Structure 1
Amino acid sequence: MSDLSETTLHPVFEIDQPNRYGRYIISNPREIIWHLKLLKDQRNFITLYPNHLDQFFLTSIISINEKTGELILDAPGLPELLESALKSTSSTLTTSMDKVKVQIRLGPLQQTQHENSPALLTRLPQAMLRLQRREFFRIDTPRINPLRCKLVKHHGETESEVFDFPLLDISGGGLCLSGPVEAAEHFSLGELFTDCRLEIPDESVISVNLRVREISRLETANGQMQLRLGCEYVNLPSARQNLIERYITRLERARKAQTDLI
């Protein structure tokens, strides 16, 4: 297996890696505002990470004021999360829009009121990342008999904890897992899990190294909240990459054939 020592120091967010993802970073104010309005109109769930990254909460865009250059977001309900947000010198919003990964860097947040409800006020962002590449195209995985992945968290040299989660989607660049929302406390952004066991139908169980890139909460159709864990592959050998992409191609063809029959 390849040496992982260099990869552990990579920035958590792609927006912080301009050498690699610079062409996906938007800095034109009009274009940024246009995308912000889409997020607001679509009522997208957005995850806000304060700058120290050990906490996060769901928010949404409430108001965009182009004249004053201000953005208003929903405030978290828990006092400790609100305090964490207000102490941060910067924050990062993450979401997806039409299956395109979106990251937005914000400056300091202030507490305010919007229509008699608590809210967060900040300046309009100067940078936004929209990561749309073929390898990051995600396809939903089956909900019946779902693919599964096992992650092992080591506690010292002798103790370990195994998490066995179903997949929500998969791409050539990573995968998304779901689990009980209370499991969120066991994961942190940028954390690296080695030798994870990923099931690939009609192939085998393969070993992958996964870095946690997104921790958020997902509301299910019955109103329940679930943990959503977005991960990227680290040092994935080309043979295993081919297995994953071959499965994605089979899944796409099966979906297309089913659509054609309708």
Structure 2
Amino acid sequence: MTNTTPEDISVPVFEIDQPEQFGQFFLSGQRERLAHLHTLERQKALITVYLDDNRDFFLSSVLAVDDDEQRILLDPPNDPKLLQRAVASPQITLSGAVDRVKIQARLRHQEAVRHQGREVLSVPLPEQMLRLQRREFFRIETPRLSPLRCKLAKRQQDGRTEAFDYPLHDISGGGICLVGEKGHVGHFSLGEIFADCRLEIPGEHVLSVNLRIREISELETFHGDYQLRLGCEFYNLPGTRLTLIERYIARLERERKARESGLG
């Protein structure tokens, strides 16, 4: 198994950078953008803030939306140096979810200000925001007791190969979400492609799939701990393998409905 580094990728990482493909999902009106920002604020939703080069990021939330001043306040990172890098970045990208629909916003001219006795990140309202609801892929959570697993490998500069074996959180026809150790976060970069990953599908053969890292964040467990969450999309997936994955998803959905109706 091999991987491709982000330097080998010519396409943008974020959907907000691909208007030719996702233009219909852009929010053109300021009122609509404000409504989604207020929802993020009200729900205290966990968001990810990516710095300009997309390699550094931190988890945050929308603390306040000031309609009059046309600014939003973001919870800062715990590391003061990371806050300084965020302020110095030409732009930052906010990625979160409103009612399980992905929201991306491009922000510029950020600064550190005092708010309720501490430094926070203050940013003008975004001029670009994307609300991405991809209905073509039905996503379903995978079993917890006997989880599906996916194996990835990464070749280091010294020639060594480092392997990762992660359980799945959910799966769709477009990709998978993997859950790993929080300490592994530094091993992955946005846009990175892992080739020939081994995806175990119960009742089917182990599938070889290429994965592109689309989202890096943290997932809170029932015990209050945090794990690494990797949102991955299938890359150049042959139709025959997609059919096997969709067949498994359909089986999971039938089993779920049977349990809910008391027949399972």
Equivalent residue number for residue 20 of structure 1: 21
Equivalent residue number for residue 217 of structure 2: 216
CA distance in 1, matches of 2:90, 2:108: 6
CA distance in 2, matches of 1:172, 1:23: 21
Q: Deviations over 1:156-198 (max 9, x none)?
A: 4842111000111111111111111110000011111000011
Number of aligned positions between the proteins:
259
Equivalent residue number for residue 119 of structure 1: 120
TM-score (structure 1 length as normaliser):
0.94
Aligned ranges 1:1-262 → 2 under 5 Å? 8-156=9-157, 158-261=159-262
Structure 1 residues 210 and 15: CA distance shift in structure 2, 3 A:
same
CA distance in 1, matches of 2:120, 2:99: 26
**Preserved CA contact (<8 Å) 1:25 1:129:** yes
User: Could you say what the CA RMSD is over the residues aligned between the two structures, in angstroms?
Assistant: 1.9
CA distance in 2, matches of 1:137, 1:131: 14
TM-score (structure 2 length as normaliser):
0.93
Moved more, 251-260 or 21-30: 251-260
CA distance in 1, matches of 2:253, 2:11: 32
Structure 1 residues 135 and 80: CA distance shift in structure 2, 3 A:
farther
**Preserved CA contact (<8 Å) 1:99 1:138:** no
- 2:243 is paired with a residue whose SS is helix
**Preserved CA contact (<8 Å) 1:196 1:207:** yes
What's the offset of the Cα at 1:94? Answer: 1.1
Runs of 5+ unmatched residues, structure 1: none
| Letter in structure 2 aligned against 1:120 | L
| Letter in structure 2 aligned against 1:20 | Q
CA distance in 2, matches of 1:245, 1:101: 22
CA distance in 2, matches of 1:236, 1:98: 29
Shift >3 Å, 4+ stretches = none
CA distance in 2, matches of 1:139, 1:32: 28
CA distance in 2, matches of 1:164, 1:199: 11
**Preserved CA contact (<8 Å) 2:36 2:98:** no
- 2:69 is paired with a residue whose SS is coil
CA distance in 2, matches of 1:108, 1:245: 44
Q: Deviations over 1:102-135 (max 9, x none)?
A: 2111113100111112210001112222221233
Which has the bigger relative contact order, CA under 8 A and spacing at least 6? 2
**Preserved CA contact (<8 Å) 1:100 1:137:** no
Structure 1 residues 93 and 115: CA distance shift in structure 2, 3 A:
same
